[in-house]
Amino acid sequence: MIHDDPAAVATAGALRALAERILSDAGVPTATGDADIIVAHVLGKGRVDVQHGALDDEALSPGQVALATDFIERRSRREPLQHLTGKALFRSIELAVGPGVFVPRRETEFVTQLAVDALAAAGDAPIAVDLGTGAGAIALAMATEVPKATVYGVEVSAEAFEWTRRNFETLAPGNGVPVLADMTDALPELDGRVDVVSGNPPFIPDGTEPATPEVRLFDPGVALFGGPDGLDLVRAVSRTARRLLRSGGTLAMEHGVSQAARVAAVLEGDGWASVTTRRDPRGHDRVTTARR
């Protein structure tokens, strides 16, 4: 790789081209964008400057070459780019992420928008709870975009909760509350008082191997697998949300794109009203909402 020819990466432009080639040869589907981000991170610059070629002639120090080498080699083994940079961009916020916590996906921005809209319309001092919050993507988007709200993020994994706590302290010190607890009995003091409950629970059936190496090799299993049919945590979200929400409160839950009918059946069986499947901008049945 890079070690074989240090002169090949004397400049940022050469590093960018080499990184793209190595990542593409390794089967990374986002090789071009990842190369841009790696170069930008190594240089401490913005990705847009790299994309436009403004930094192509910038000379690299030995330390920058060493860091780039490490990142390219690890990314070629499909370690998530977010683990390398230590951050994940989500809507308008930047989350700290790493081993032990689920890396938030772009598609989760859809359920987040539905939760934000419901929370913004909920009154003067609304309360929201995000169940299985992980790094806090949905919860912290709500907290930062609806600053009048108090937003609780519930996470059961102690390892993931280290990232939860860190992100809440950084991004929502005034109105965000991280909670280390099992969702089934979390926050009894809020029963019947919450305006919005959101969640992106694990929904992959046990024994199913995720197709994406980044997910299969690096995301924690507790954030992926939801029991024999994938719906164990969907059922838990339904029960907990019914306990927490006030009358008229909103549930917004992400799920697998093939699970909409089964999720709706769970919610209807639990007595929810206005159960509605929501199609994301790509036309996928990704989210179900309901009213208490």
State yes or no: pLDDT of 180 exceeds 70.
yes
Mean pLDDT (the chain) is 92
pLDDT of residue 54: 63
Q: Give the residue from 277, 271, 263, 280 showing the smallest Cα distance to 245.
A: 271
DSSP structure class, residue 204: B
Residue, of 192 and 204, whose pLDDT is higher: 192
154: amino acid identity, one letter: V
CA dihedral 153, 156, 157, 160 (to 10 degrees): 0
Cα dihedral 80, 257, 152, 160 sign: negative
Number of Cβ within 10 Å of residue 139's Cβ equals 32
> 211 exposed, middle or buried (CB, 10 Å; 0-12, 13-18, 19+)?
exposed
Quick: pLDDT tens for 59-76: 899 999 999 999 999 999
State yes or no: pLDDT of 51 exceeds 60.
yes
Quick: pLDDT tens for 75-120: 999 999 999 999 999 999 999 999 999 999 999 999 999 999 999 9
CA distance 22 to 95: 27
Angle among Cα 228, 229, 230 to the nearest 5 degrees reads 95
To which H or E segment does residue 166 belong?
helix 158-171
Does domain 91-291 correspond to CATH entry 3.30.2290.10? no
State yes or no: pLDDT of 151 exceeds 80.
yes
CA distance 222 to 133: 12
Contact 172, 143 (CB under 8 A): yes
CA distance 247 to 236: 19
How far the first Cα of the chain sits from its last, in Å, is 57
State yes or no: pLDDT of 7 exceeds 70.
no
18: phi > 0 → left, psi -120 to 50 → alpha, else beta; which?
alpha
pLDDT of residue 26: 95
Q: Domain segments of the chain: what residues?
A: 2-77, 91-291
Residue holding tokens 């403004």? 54
